[in-house]
A and B are shown apart, each in its own frame.
Chain A
Amino acid sequence: MQDFLIMNTLGYPILSLLVFLPLAGVIPLLILKNDAAAKYWTLFITIVIAVISLQLYFKFDKTTALYQFGVDHAWIPMWDIRYTLGIDGISLLLILLTTMIMPLCVLCSWNYITTRVRPFLACLLIMETSMLGVFMALDFVLFYILWEAMLIPMYLLIAIWGGPRKIYASIKFFLYTLAGSVLLLVAIIALYMKNGTFSIPMMMGQDYSSVFQIYVFLAFFLAFAIKVPMFPFHTWLPAAHVEAPTAGSVVLASVLLKMGTYGFLRFCLPITPEASIFFMPYILWLSIAGIIYGGFTALAQQDMKKLIAYSSVGHMGFVTLGIFVFNAHGIEGALLQMINHGVTTGALFIIVGMIYERTHSRELALAAGVGKFMPVYVTFLGFFSLSSLAFPGTNSFIGEFLVLAGAFAKSKIVAACAIPGAVLAAAYMLRMLQKVVWGGTNNPDQSYLADLNVREIITLAPLLLFVLWIGLNPAPFMDVMHASVNHLIQQVGIADAGPQGILEVAKLAIPH
């Protein structure tokens, strides 16, 4: 038995159950002939999965950095490929985020999707399987298979149920992400040649040469930077977000983007620490560029979905910034910010979807002044907008604060350059909030709008709960990551003390 894995002791294989239950949930969809029944069934199965996944939090051992709830079976003996699942403090919250957000995706599509409902729900469930699998996989081939397989349902979600430019957006999404990950496969095989195993934990902390690390890192980086997306690889994101149906946007923003940053944390840092340090300055500056660029572009948008999409570029810039400062504050802040972005941006996309269902437009000008007729709606919008601009008391404040604290510890100049991003976030979010709630003197007639119904309130309420919960009491969320993050920093730290030459290069690029 591998020593990095604590085997599952719950009496039932909880991780395998979580991965395969959504897939099993597809089978009734093939048989059911009634769309309404299919919706109730999908809602039911996703809620069941969410409830089961809560077990992970309560039974999670916060004191260890080992992978827990492990499952390990031989799969393809010839290449020593194993079916290995396990979670640690880095993946736990992302898994919970995924399982929690899926029922909301079903709810927010209740009336939005009217054609080919059952295939749509099947795509959502297949997405859930592959997303959960990506966060749990500890075998690189298993990881890659799920990582790639996800493209198919996501492509279909955008290409079939998307907006007017869906074909352009979906192909761009597919080509970008696939092109990014083909070299990832080569890097994975190269790592296998060095180690004789595809086990991810066993690839960590090995003594690879600097040149090898740099090549592997570059292959990793291309795949993950496109997924995040980091500036300048972000151009697929606004297109995909704008054209995707609401549930697609939510899955994309809340979970898919996190896979890129998760990749940095799980693979780049522990497997190629030396190269990570070597490339750190460049990535920090790319993050800053993303933060500023995303902010300014969001400020100029007239389409609400585009605005939120570009704000994602900025927010994810904060996440990569936090990861690559290599200290506990930065990485924990980045992890928390990943969750926060999932909650807040997911909610904002749902909110835009709600107004789209009513007005059939995402234009900011056409949604002006709805506050008078939809008070509940704008209350939610207010909270989530404040959360998005990292207002104290909301979740993003904690995350962004930690990231900036980490950045200041690393380099004052880098941190100072990130500050305008926070200001820009306030500017573009308040601009949208002001427009939507009050508008101006020439508002379009909004009197026909009905306020949120019970289903829509139920969709948004859990997200609001988490916004305030993380904002006011982040300890339950932070506790689970400490051990894993410290372990990760140690893994990078070993290299940090090692090759002085690389450190000197890094210092030159970032003045202290």
Chain B
Amino acid sequence: MKMALFFPELFLLLSCLVIFLLTLGKMRSSTVRNITAALSIIAFLICAGSLRLEGDLFFKAYRIDLFSQLFKLAITGGVALLLLFSRELKGIEETIRAEYYLFLLLSALGLVMLVSSVELLSIFVALELSSYALYLLVPMRDDHSGLREQMEAGIKYILFGVVATGIMLFGMSYLFGLTGTTYLSELIPAMNQVIGTPAAIVGIALVMGGFFFKLGLFPFHFWLPDVYQGASNETTAFIASVPKLGAVALLIRVATLAAPSAATLVNLLMILAVCSMFYGNLIALVQKDIKRMLAFSGIAHAGFVILGIITLKDTGFASAIYYITGYMLMNLACFLVICNVSVKGENLAISDLTGLYKRAPLLAFTLAVGMFALAGIPPFVGFMGKFMLLAGALKEGYLTLVILAAINTAIAIYYYLSVVRVSYCTDPEERPALTVAPLTQVISIVLVLIIIIMGVMPAPVVDIATAAVRGIM
């Protein structure tokens, strides 16, 4: 039954329609939120149920396989977690909160469709669906600072985004021109014939550019710090975590075009990865605003993920999937704390976390786990991901790259540690104690547990990711 294959997307689409109807009425925003959260949990459960489905839809432009279903599971899971812990949308005005949830779900729907798309045009359409919803989320923030910085961030986001899309389309035209097809399944053998030619390399690199933008890889990173800063905390939590899953999924799909070997492309990616890591980590060292710091740390992490892509091997791709899933969870843990510490939805300086251990011990602990995990300290998921990426890259002989990446983890520890230091080693002075809703407490404990368990027992996740990657190669 073909309908069953499309069920997660259909359900999300239906959810969007439901929310859309709600936006027309005068329902209280908390009710809308509860409905959205419930719908996202159901979507997550549906994705879990359809994990093992397989099949093609829409003239084979849309493929359901373990790879896509795994990503769908992670994406809907991330959205559900996010909706559960961002209890009230502090940075968004009451009147447009219902619309906010609509666009959030639409963006999630776009990402869910993106990871299943195996044809260039459907990839493009799905990507735009998720992007345009996001472009709208950013300026929906209330004008708390009086500087209209959310508008600035929104404009930056959409301008850079459109340029990146243009670059990607240009690359797709190369691929189509070279091979005469837009189907990935037909592109892979056709590209193998011409992979040595400059046009093929340029085409693949340009297509990847569109996803580098989503991932925030150097030199497509310019929007990251400003958008993180300008968007409300909840929006940033979403932008920082979930779309990066989609980006990595599509990078892997595009990278399979270049497998098993493409030295020029690999060299290019290596340079981008190294630049990304050094740039992100060095600039993060001097940040005062925690969201900006996480933005630069995100650029560095994007460089790390590339370590898995350049292996062009199933193990490397699987490590990249594991890493980006872990990254999403670590980021969500950090943003859970940021969203809850920020009283009126304002931006937080790192110094605003002063004495957090006294104001909200659980939040301080979650933040510490998140930061140590992002820094790649065992036994958390960040370490295992880092370890597997380094091991995979070294297996392919990229020793210099691995050493540079290792040095970067040593640089990065300083700014992660300074957040822990501020929250644990200083007194709160006059800052009031924080009340944390029971549901948020549960979510933060769940996140901490997943971060630890995935770090100590990575085998199940890596096994399923490897199986998923083998299916598409």
Contact = CB atoms under 8 A, between A and B. Distances in A.
Interface stretch (A36-44, A180-188, A309-317, A440-448): A180-188
A78 B406 contact: no
B372 interface: yes
Contacts of B391: 79, 189, 192
B428 interface: no
Interface stretch (B211-219, B236-244, B344-352, B459-467): B459-467
B379 A78 contact: no
A171 B414 contact: yes
A186 B413 contact: no
Interface stretch (B119-127, B417-425, B430-438): B417-425
Interface residues of A, number: 33
B377 A78 contact: no
Contact of B406 (A149, A170, A185): A185
A189 B379 contact: no
Interface stretch (A99-107, A159-167, A294-302): A159-167
A166 B425 contact: yes
A352 to B, nearest CB: 23
Contacts of A78: 315, 459, 462-463, 466
Contacts of B372: 152
Contacts of B383: 145, 148
Interface string B110-154: 000000000000000000000000000000000000000000000
Contacts of B421: 159, 167, 170-171
A241 to B, nearest CB: 18
A204 B395 CA distance: 21
A179 B390 CA distance: 16
B425 A183 contact: no
B402 interface: yes
B458 interface: yes
A305 to B, nearest CB: 20
Nearest to A74: B459
B395 to A, nearest CB: 6
Contacts of A178: 377, 409-410, 413
Nearest to B422: A167
Interface in A130-145: 141, 144-145
Given A167-B421, A171-B417, A144 B378 contact: yes
A156 B424 CA distance: 8
A185 to B, nearest CB: 6
A179 B410 contact: yes
B424 A183 contact: no
A174 interface: yes
Interface string B78-115: 00000000000000000000000000000000000000
Contact of A183 (B377, B403, B417): B403
Interface in B439-473: 458-459, 462-463, 466
A193 B417 contact: no
B21 interface: no
Contact of A174 (B387, B394, B407, B417): B417
Given A79-B388, A144-B378, A151-B377, A160 B409 contact: no
Interface string A256-274: 0000000000000000000
Interface string B365-383: 0000000100001110001
B394 A193 contact: yes
B409 A76 contact: no
27 contacts: A76-B458, A76-B459, A76-B462, A77-B459, A78-B315, A78-B459, A78-B462, A78-B463, A79-B388, A144-B378, A145-B383, A146-B378, A151-B377, A152-B377, A167-B421, A167-B425, A171-B414, A175-B414, A175-B417, A178-B377, A179-B410, A186-B394, A186-B402, A186-B403, A189-B387, A189-B402, A193-B394
